[in-house]
A and B are shown apart, each in its own frame.
Chain A
Amino acid sequence: MAHDEKSAHDPHHDELAHPMPVSMLIGVWAVLMFFTVLTVWAAQQGLGSQTSFIVAMIIATIKAGLVMSIFMHLWWDKRMNLFTFLGSFLFVMLFIGMALTDKSEYNHDIISKMESDSAQAQTSTGAPTMPSTK
């Protein structure tokens, strides 16, 4: 497992530690704070639920990208670690995407039905009526 390609930017590639410049750390922090203020401000502009959701997710993804590439050092890290981590998002997308495709099949009243049945059972002294399963 060669570790040459990862430190092409760094003349001291035989050294283990690559300390990050303080100016870069503080710069990333300032940008993250700016985007935090921006996302709160954008949410109050009444853009409509769809647009404001997309705007909020774009801003969050920019912030996440900064944290991952700079703070988590993925920009300079071995590509193996980057692909491992990004691979998890691939599976998350598959997971949520697949789950969304059949969301209309859900019987999404089943919990409230159970709740109302148990509420009936609590109030009425008689035996609770079982929900008919067709």
Chain B
Amino acid sequence: MTDATAEAVHGHSGGHGHQDPIHAANPFLAHHFDTPRQQFEAGKFGIWLFLVTEILFFSGLFCAYTIYRTLDPDVFEWGHYFLDTKLGAVNTSVLILSSLTAAWAVRNAQLQQHRALIINIVITLLCASTFMVVKYTEYSHKFHAGLLPGKYFQPTEEAWEMPSYEKKNGPPPEGFLDGKPEGIEKAEKLITRGHPYKFDPPPHAARFFGIYFCMTGLHGIHVLVGMGIWIWMLVKGVKRQFGPNYFGPVDYAALYWHLVDLIWIYLFPLLYLID
């Protein structure tokens, strides 16, 4: 991996001095690397190895999803009615937009477009915040409606009034929510015609929310961590530290960010778009 020129300059005589021209010209070249390329490629391989561990990390949850969905398909079909497709689609779009600005930020860093770099990082951060606000709204609805994992799964009437549920099934028959006999009777008739108008969750229904909260929760934590990394990149960008020989950190941050997007690209259809 040693570059010929660096070998000549660095040699074996000088030790780790910072006086050689390559290090003098590159203030962010760490002393244990000979050239910016060596530093960049080492870092790049490092971040790819990290992304591999991330894939394996998430694969545990995807495995749980696969097994529980094949064991109890009804649970997933029933549970997905409580997820709002519109909010899920908004979050997908927001993450895709932030992936665009993240990739664009790498270009800005390479070309030393300091102003554009800051703008793109700020847009990425705004998209991430929007994602988290939408996620918070979805979570708080589920908390209020008692749609929670395990023994905390105690759905209240609010679950019926969730807009996502109503949008897919229409409003419940009049008097049903008040427990009036005629309302219940109407609902019973609807059930026989295949409408899910009775709040009888299938056995193991809580599992859907266990898997939902674990998968989206772990993903949400990754979004929060990503926001922290982008703030760090913003600080470095404001200090104008990046250029054609030192853009690695933005590149690595963007790679991580794209991975978070990749995972959501699969989570969205797996949780929200069950038919």
Residues in A neighbouring B104, C-beta threshold 8 A: 22, 25
Given A16-B245, A89-B55, are A84 and B49 also a contact pair (CB < 8 Å)? yes
Could you tell me if A95 and B63 are in contact, using CB atoms closer than 8 angstroms? yes
* Residue contact A49 to B67, C-beta cutoff 8 Å: no
Contact of B37 with A63 in the complex, beta carbons under 8 Å: no
Cα-based distance from A123 to B274 in the complex (angstroms): 37
Q: Check A26 against B52 for contact (C-beta < 8 Å).
A: no
Q: Which residues of B contact A88 (CB under 8 A)?
A: 51-52, 55-56
* Cα A129 to Cα B102 with chains together (Å): 57
Q: How far is the CB of A118 from chain B (nearest CB, A)?
A: 7
CB-based contact B96/A32 at 8 Å: yes
Contact assessment for B67 and A84 in the assembled complex, using a CB-CB cutoff below 8 Å: no
Identify B77's interface contact among A49, A84, A95, A99, CB under 8 A: A49
> B9 within 8 Å of A by Cβ?
no
| CB proximity of B5 to chain A, nearest CB, Å | 11
CB <8 Å contact, B99 and A115: no
Interface residues on B, range: 35 or more
Whether a CB of chain A sits under 8 angstroms from the CB of B89 is yes
Pair A1/B96 contact, Cβ less than 8 Å? no
Q: Which residues of B contact A32 (CB under 8 A)?
A: 96, 99
Interface status of B203 (Cβ within 8 A of chain A): yes
Mask, B215-249, CB within 8 Å of A = 1, is 00000000000000000000000000000110100
Q: Is B48 within 8 A of A81, CB to CB?
A: yes
Q: Is the CB of B244 within 8 A of A78?
A: no
Contact of A92 among B41, B62, B77 (CB under 8 A): B62
Task: Give the chain A neighbours of B107 by CB distance below 8 A.
Answer: 19-20, 22, 25
How would residues 22 to 51 of chain A score, 1 for a CB under 8 Å from any chain B CB and 0 otherwise?
A: 100110110011001001100100111100
Instruction: Tell me if A3 and B37 are in contact (CB < 8 A).
Output: yes
A36–B89 touching, CB < 8 Å: yes
A96 touches B45 (CB 8 A): no
Q: Is the CB of B59 within 8 A of A95?
A: yes
A20 and B103 contacting across the interface, CB-CB below 8 Å: yes
CA distance A48 to B275 in the complex (A): 6
CB distance from A16 to the nearest CB of B (A): 5
Pair A46/B275 contact, Cβ less than 8 Å: yes
Quick check: is B93 within 8 A (CB to CB) of the other chain? yes
Chain B, range 33-71, C-beta contacts under 8 Å to A: 36-37, 40-41, 44-45, 48-49, 51-52, 55-56, 59, 62-63, 66-67, 70-71
A-B CB contact pairs (8 Å), 11 listed: A29-B100, A56-B269, A56-B270, A64-B262, A64-B266, A67-B261, A67-B262, A91-B59, A95-B63, A96-B63, A106-B67
